[in-house]
Amino acid sequence: MLSIVIFLPLAAAALLALPRLGARAATWIWIAATAADLALVVAMWAGYGGGTAYETRLRWIPSVGAGYHVGVDGLSLPLIAMTSLLFLLCAVYSLRETHRPRAYAALFLFLQTVCLGVFAALDLLLFFVFFDLAIVGMYFVIVGWGHGDRARSGLKFFLYTFLGSLALLLGFIGLYLAAEPHTFDMADLIANPPPAGAPVLLAVGVGLAVKTPVVPVHTWLPPAHTDAPAAGSAILAGVLLKLGTYGLARIAVPMLPGQWRAYAWVVIVIGVLSVLYGALVALAQENLKRLIAYTSVNHMGYIVLALGAAGLSGGRAARELAVSGAVTQMVSHGLITGALFLISGVLWDRAGSYQIGKYGGIAGKAPVLSGLTAMAAFASLGLPGFSGFIAEFQIFTGVIGAGAAVAGAVSLTGILITAALLLRMLHRAFLGEPGELTGRVGDLRPHESAAIAPLLALSLVIGIAPRWLLDLIEPAAQAVVTLAGR
Amino acid sequence: MSPLALLPELLILAGAVAGLVTGLFVARDRQRVVAWTNGVALAGAAAATTMNPETMAFDGYVVDRVTNVTRLTVALATILVICLAAGRARGDTRESELYTLVALAALGTITMAGAGDLLVLVAAYLLASIPAYALAGFAKDAPGTEAALKYYLMGAFLGVLMLAGVTIAYGSSGATAYPETRAPAVAAVLLLAGLLFKAGGVPAHFWVPDVAEGASRPVAAFVTTVPKIGALAALYRLASGVFDEPALLAVVAAATMTLGNLAAFHQDNVRRLLAYSTVSQAGYLLVPVAVAGRTDLAEPALLFYLAAYAITNLGAFAVVATAGTDTLADYAGLARRSPWTAFALVVCLLGLVGTPPTAVFAGKLLMFAAAWDGGYAWLAVLAAANTVASVFYYLRWIRPVFAQEGGAGESRTGAVALMAAAGSLVLGIAAGVVLLIA
């Protein structure tokens, strides 16, 4: 069933290659395929009973111990669900895409397959195959449908993240060679962590850090986001960034527990740096998309911080709380940032600019758009009642409880700065006197509302009643902490 | 010893001779039959290799896994080249000679891989080289003549150095058969000269861009792909028995991949770009040679990478032949003119980068693992850094393909290019099966 979930979008993409298919039909096939995929994921969630479920294990390259091994657990299932939802809503958002819609739909369906594949993979080589293909897919989205200096941004994105992925591959080979018997299978590597040295953690860590991204290897992110189309940015921020942090939780922590504990402080420092630097640089942005991109650096910093705390020696409950918060934050950030990028896409569609200073008083002309933006901004800054609060509260409690009180306290200022910059953005673009481009901004069209509102509604549901989600995440978080403590 | 063990080589030879003789008596517009003769002989050689993969060694010639994989790869790659050439050479005054020369060069390549004696190696070197010189200047035009002259002078000079290396090795160990021969360092360097020339490795790579640009497109595809296979297999054999110079080979590999990449960066002629890309690929292929005998992964890494490289590189050249232009700018809008050709190009170029799930990915993975396991982790890191750098020039070619402008022109779909692209994907996904059998 899991394999069907992974490859259904790809099959739909192949269907789109049929000749004489109209643009509208292509978009509807896209929406139908993603909706069917989401329905399957929901069914999987309903039938999930704990542990690693829906496992498939086939031989692929047996001579190097690599196989097609997929499965889900409490770590990957929430992310798979978030991915399916975000891709469905991006399809809805792109209902009126006029520029080569068939290829656009096929590319997004391809991306969906590879993103789901990364989260479901239980084999390092399979993980890498999907991880690398995600870069290729996103590159074509940026250069094919982006705007501005898209060729340059796309190239920078490709080169930078490809460098990361090759570092990751070298790290995987290091894990493979250190394991006895040699294997790429994650389940086997987690059961018997190989005695690999610090260079292996460095290679894996650099590879995933570029993808996450953390300071100082984040510089590919702002241009890639700014020049990508709105749906591409939403997927890039919502799903692709999670590949990095998910890899940390799935590979780095359980497979290199000793090294992870030894270098936990390095990870924490990098996390704190990302939190503060991302927030401060976002504060200075005039370009709405760059601003959201830098808040992503800030938000991903919390996750890195929490995963670093999992390697400390403080209270076990606190460490579990931190990891649980990290996973919740991955889901929450996907929902909220996805919504924010789709909103910025609406502004670009209407007025062709991301300059906050050129807008003003949008609230008067577009009440629904402004209402949803305000909601997304509050959710993003961690207001109680939204998913971001649940995640960040767990992270801070966990980090401080695990023994990194200073790091936790310093990072709290990140929340303050984020609140300031998001409120400032709201204030300048949506309230006050009309700006030079405000006249062009009309309110949301039905398909845009239908794409943005569910993301925020879900964030609200998680914020108010998170139990259904945490019941899934907490056992997985306990497992990660147990594995890290070996 | 059973002559049947040499059936693949004998079949190719018989095909070449039969083709040459047939060509003498057949009307000019029906010379296509020679292509069929050679193609069938090569297919027979491939079939004979798969049917009868026995391994044995006799005086001067070794039939083992290295030879068998080389036979198969060279035969299939040469069939693709003949398909590519047949579409363009029709009605040429010397059509039948073209196919025969290609088949003979392929035979020389296989013999290089199987050589178990330095003298056999020299003979194989000449058999692989001389038809290739003629092929480079086949069109008798100015660029082709220049290419052939450069190719020949360099090959003759480095071949003489190799012969000197054979002499020294014979003088110092009293034998030329591999098991008994031990080449001292100076002989190793001299032997490397000739083989690096065939492999297109630094510092013997200067002919590669000129031949790739000056010869006809199918010939360029052939000489940058097929002789490499035999040369690297021969080097692997020498490095695992005759001399032991891993550090030297590692430095040559590092220089080859790096210089090839740097030179490819700003090429505006796609054939020169591909030529330098093949130089850098030769550098990656030298990595398993450098760790030969130090890890069990070296042999599968080399053989799988060779097969993967051959099919992917041929695919890229086939796209150039199909598109019929060498200028990078002319590829603007190819995706709208001929979507399938553009698809083949993207698969082959990303394949050369080593993007999964193409075949070169599995080859690179094995190569990285072999380097690390063989104690040359720095070489793996350097190869990874070079791979990232190579993305830059491959993307320089891919991006305009999807550009809006320059959409006009006729639609062309090349069967060979598509077959090679599909073959690269299938070989990558079926890597497990292939590695198990081989």
Banded pLDDT at A112 (limits 50, 70, 90) = very high
CA of A340, closest CA in chain B: separation in Å? 29
Q: Which chain A residue lies closest to B385 (C-alpha atoms)?
A: A163
Chain A residue with minimum CA distance to B367: A173
pLDDT band, residue A107 (cuts 50/70/90):
very high
Distance CA A155, CA A145 (A): 14
CA B116 to chain centre: 20
d(CA A93, CA A231): 7
How many Å lie between the alpha carbon of B366 and the closest alpha carbon of chain A?
Answer: 9
Beta carbons within 10 angstroms of residue A19's beta carbon: 4
Q: Do residues B288 and B298 touch, judged by C-beta distance below 8 A?
A: yes
* Residues in chain A closer than 8 A to B342 (CB atoms): none
Q: What percent of chain A has pLDDT over 70?
A: 100
Whether residue A68 lies within 8 A of chain B, CB to CB, comes out as no
Higher pLDDT, A50 or B223: B223
A109 in contact with chain B, both atoms CB, cutoff 8 A:
no
Neighbours of A439 (CB within 10 A): 11
A and B: number of Cβ contacts within 8 A: 76
Q: Return the residue in B394, B395, B425, B436 with the most chain A beta carbons within 10 A, the one to mutate for interface testing.
A: B395
Instruction: Give phi and psi for B388, each to the nearest 5.
Output: -65, -45
Nearest CB partner across the interface for B388, out of A59, A143, A162: A162
CA angle at A338 for the pair A333 and A342, rounded to the nearest 5°: 155
Is B369 in contact with A177 (Cβ distance < 8 A)?
yes
Of B366, B373, B387, the CB nearest to A166: B387
- pLDDT (mean) for A257-273: 92
- Chain A hits for B362, CB-CB cut-off 8 Å, are 61
Cross-chain residue pair A129–B373, CB shorter than 8 Å: no
Q: What's the whole-number mean pLDDT along residues A239-267?
A: 92
Asked whether A74 and A473 are in contact (CB, 8 A), the reply is yes
In Å, how far from its chain's centre is CA B292?
Answer: 20
Q: What is the DSSP string of B228-247?
A: HHHHHHHHHHIIIII---HH
Contacts of B356 in chain A (CB under 8 A): 128-129, 132-133
Among A62, A163, A173, select the one facing B372 at the smallest CB separation: A173
Nearest CB partner across the interface for B391, out of A144, A162, A176: A162
**Contact A332/A459 with Cβ under 8 angstroms?**
yes
In whole angstroms, what is the distance from residue A204 CA to residue B361 CA?
Answer: 18
Evaluate if residue A312 carries a pLDDT over 90: no
Phi, psi of A174 (to 5 degrees): -60, -45
- What is the pLDDT at residue B338? 84
Per CB-CB distance under 8 Å, the chain B contacts of A155 are: 392, 395, 399
Q: Which residue of B has its CA nearest to A168?
A: B384
A60 contacts in chain B (CB < 8 Å) = 431-432
Rounded to whole angstroms, the Cα distance separating A49 from B9 reads 61
- Predicted confidence at residue B190, as pLDDT, reads 93
Consecutive H or E run containing A11: helix A2-16
Describe chain A by its helix, strand, coil percentages, rounded to 5: 75, 5, 20
Vertex A29 angle, CA A25 and A35, to 5°: 145
Q: How many CB atoms lie within 10 A of CB A406?
A: 12
pLDDT tens per residue across span A171-218: 999 999 888 888 888 888 888 888 888 899 999 999 999 998 898 888
Give the model's confidence band at A313: pLDDT under 50 very low, under 70 low, under 90 confident, else very high. Answer: confident
Sequence-separated (6 or more) residues with CB below 8 Å from residue B55: B63, B64, B65, B68
Per-residue tokens: A435: 């700006």
DSSP code string of B362-407: HHHHHHHHHHHHTT-HHHHHHHHHHHHHHHHHHHHHHHHHT-SS--
Of the partner residues A62, A129, A177, the one whose CB lies closest to the CB of residue B432: A62
In this structure, what token pair is assigned to residue A194?
């190989």
Residues on chain B touching A125 (C-beta within 8 angstroms): 365
What is the structure's pLDDT at B4? Answer: 78
Whether A128 has its CB under 8 Å from any CB of chain B: the answer is: yes
Among candidates A63, A155, A166 on the partner chain, residue whose Cβ is nearest the Cβ of B395: A155
Nearest to A159 among B377, B392, B436 (CB): B392
Asked if A360 has any chain B CB less than 8 Å from its own CB, the reply is no
> pTM (2 decimals)?
0.90
Dist. CA B307–CA B313, nearest whole Å: 10
Report the pLDDT value the prediction gives residue B405, as an integer from 0 to 100.
67
Listed in sequence order, the DSSP H helices in A60-123 are: 76-93, 101-120
CB contact under 8 Å between A129 and B361, yes or no, is yes
Residues A291 and A347 sit within 8 Å (Cβ to Cβ): no
At B62, list the tokens. 């070794």
Tell me which residue in A162, A167, A176 faces B369 most closely, judged by beta carbons. A176
Task: Evaluate the CA torsion angle A442, A444, A448, A452 in order and state its sign.
Answer: positive
Profile chain B (438 residues) by mean pLDDT over runs of 10 residues.
Answer: 80 93 86 88 89 71 89 93 83 83 94 91 94 90 92 94 94 87 90 92 90 91 93 93 89 94 91 94 94 89 93 93 86 84 91 89 91 90 92 89 70 82 88 68
Radius of gyration of chain A (CA): 21
Phi, psi at A381, each rounded to 5°: -85, 0
Q: Shortest CA distance to A189 belongs to which of A264, A248, A128, A250? A: A250
pLDDT of residue B169: 92
Q: Which residues of B206-228 are buried (b: 16+ CB within 10 A; e: fewer)?
A: ebbbbbbbbbbbbbbbbbbbbbb
Is residue A218 classed as helix, strand or coil in its secondary structure? Answer: coil
> How far apart are alpha carbons A36 and A88 in whole angstroms?
9
pLDDT of residue B408: 61
| pLDDT recorded at residue A301 | 93
Quick check: A129 and B388 CB within 8 A?
A: no
Q: Are A294 and A400 within 8 A, CB to CB? A: no
Kindly report the nearest CA distance between residue A23 and chain B, in angstroms.
16
Contact: A64, B361; criterion CB under 8 Å: no
Shortest Cα distance, chain B CAs vs residue A198, angstroms: 14
- Looking at residue A84, its pLDDT comes to 95
Q: Is the peptide bond before A216 cis (omega within 30 degrees of 0)?
A: yes
